[in-house]
Chains A and B, each alone.
Chain A
Amino acid sequence: MKYLFRQRFFTILMLGFVVLFPGLTSCTYHHYKGLEKSSTAISIPDIFDSSFQKATYITDFEVFGNALSGITIIKKVIPTNTYHVVFMSQIGLTYFDLEVAMDQDTGGYKVNYIIESLNRDFIKKALQTDFELLFSKFPSGSQKHFYEHPEQEIVEMLVQIENMTASYAAENQEIRSISYRKGRATRASIHISDYRKDHPSQFMIHNRKARLHVSFREINL
């Protein structure tokens, strides 16, 4: 009797798996409803346009419930082919200073300085993930899939990076949100709420794994 019950349970489980598995794998997460797969590559705008030089942001930084506030400067450095990011307190103390290569294939990521209280591997790893995502860095040979809305100017690009997927959603030629997922679990996301000419003027970064939330609001110094 026990054996029969086990066999039936196993059969039901297998059947469930056979029915559910294709559904799970074919069901791709999208930022917007109604997107359809495009057979041709779609041009996705850069978040920081090639004409971008530098921007200064009021920044609220929260990690594991600890809050810091200050000013972030993002500057494109042509000689080193990097984006230089410095986050500092209002009274001028640097919290971190890092450089993200513009080209993932040749570049890399460098922490020039990080204050002792933030000098933790999980924070540094989260910052790397988030800023590489922001500056759209992924290997040039990455597999890409494109989706578009049949009626509206909404497009999405999915980039496969090893076992992770980066998703870039753009609306009216401006990137609105980016997410970085393993399977269906979002590890990090960026939401851009406002643009100014060639760069985002207001955006937020959430890194779920590190419980890191950072908001940026541009100011003119």
Chain B
Amino acid sequence: MKLFKTLILISMITGLSSFQSEQDDFRELKNTDGLIAKIKAYASETHSIKSDFTQEKHLTMLEEVLVSEGHFIFQKENSVLWEYEKPIDYAIIVFNGKFTIRDGQKIQAYDIESNRMFKEINHMIITSVSGDFLDNPDFERTYFENESFYLVRLSPVKPEVNNMLSTIEIYFDKNNISVAQVRFVEPGDDFTLIKFYNRVFNSDIPTEAFQIEKSD
């Protein structure tokens, strides 16, 4: 058990330090035209994404990082399945103007338009994963790069969003200009880092994928 805890601690420290080094060597892009054109192409050519993800929540109050795993599906224009498998069974589905939450056996549906917070969260998720933010007046953008990634840092302009998030950082894989990870930074410097892997682009997504069912 002690060995297990030590291994977790080492992997957390390694993870943190590798993330820190990823953060450290970014330099601001002077000429952004080429990257903007590539992101525009990515956003317009991407109709669907299927991917697994790991989510790390870094809280200043906690030494440990809270890690969750799951998978997500995005279908243009506004359909999203965001499903956690570990450590808890939980899913958020955005489909046909409804925001549905499945929490174990409990399912609750909300009208996106009737709830400002759900609307902003929905908007934020779609903006982040689809790369569709270039013409969005709700964010100010700055561009960076390092060896592996292009980084677009979005600063929300709307008070209802920048009260929740100080920045959204979107990391584009340099190999194929696709979203590899997203970091949501909160006003108190707590942040959530979501890394995507096993990504499949533009596959056919049946609408049943967004039909929520109770888990067994």
Q: Is A185 an interface residue (CB 8 A)?
A: no
In the complex, which range does the number of interface residues on chain A fall in?
20 to 34
Q: Is B29 an interface residue (CB 8 A)?
A: no
- Asked whether, in the complex, the Cβ of B164 is within 8 Å of the Cβ of A115, the reply is yes
A-B interface contact total, Cβ < 8 Å: 68
**Cα distance A171–B89 in the bound complex, in angstroms:** 33
Scoring A58, A73, A90, A94 by chain B CB atoms within 10 A of each residue's CB, the highest score goes to A90
In chain B between 155 and 208, which residues have their CB closer than 8 angstroms to a CB of chain A?
159-160, 163-165, 184, 186-188, 190-192
Contacts of B71 in A (CB 8 A): none
- Asked whether, in the complex, the Cβ of B186 is within 8 Å of the Cβ of A94, the reply is yes
- Write the chain A residue with the least CB distance to B67: A221
In chain B between 83 and 108, which residues have their CB closer than 8 angstroms to a CB of chain A?
84, 87-88, 90, 92, 101, 103, 108
**Cα distance A221–B121 in the bound complex, in angstroms:** 24
Contacts of A41 in B (CB 8 A): none
Q: Is B61 an interface residue (CB 8 A)?
A: yes
- Chain A min CB distance to B160 (Å): 6
User: With A58-B88, A93-B164, A94-B188 in contact, is A75–B61 under 8 Å at CB?
Assistant: yes
Task: Please pick, from B82, B87, B117, B190, the residue contacting A94 in the complex, using a CB distance under 8 A.
Answer: B190
Task: Please pick, from B82, B101, B187, the residue contacting A69 in the complex, using a CB distance under 8 A.
Answer: B101
**Cα distance A60–B101 in the bound complex, in angstroms:** 12
Q: Is A11 an interface residue (CB 8 A)?
A: no
**Cα distance A69–B102 in the bound complex, in angstroms:** 10
Contacts of B66 in A (CB 8 A): 56, 71, 221
- Chain A min CB distance to B9 (Å): 15
Task: Please pick, from A67, A92, A220, the residue contacting B55 in the complex, using a CB distance under 8 A.
Answer: A92
Contacts of B163 in A (CB 8 A): 115-116
- Chain A min CB distance to B90 (Å): 5
Q: Is B62 an interface residue (CB 8 A)?
A: yes
Scoring A60, A92, A116 by chain B CB atoms within 10 A of each residue's CB, the highest score goes to A92
Contacts of B190 in A (CB 8 A): 94
- Asked whether, in the complex, the Cβ of B165 is within 8 Å of the Cβ of A84, the reply is no
Contacts of B121 in A (CB 8 A): 89, 91, 93
In chain A between 68 and 98, which residues have their CB closer than 8 angstroms to a CB of chain B?
69, 71, 73, 75, 77, 84, 86, 88-94, 97
Residues on A lying within 8 angstroms of B by beta carbon are: 54, 56, 58, 60, 66-67, 69, 71, 73, 75, 77, 84, 86, 88-94, 97, 112-113, 115-117, 219-221
- Other A-B pairs beyond A77-B61, A91-B184, A92-B191, 20, CB < 8 Å: A56-B66, A58-B103, A60-B103, A66-B115, A67-B108, A69-B103, A75-B61, A75-B62, A84-B61, A86-B59, A91-B121, A93-B121, A93-B164, A113-B187, A115-B163, A115-B164, A116-B164, A117-B117, A219-B87, A219-B88
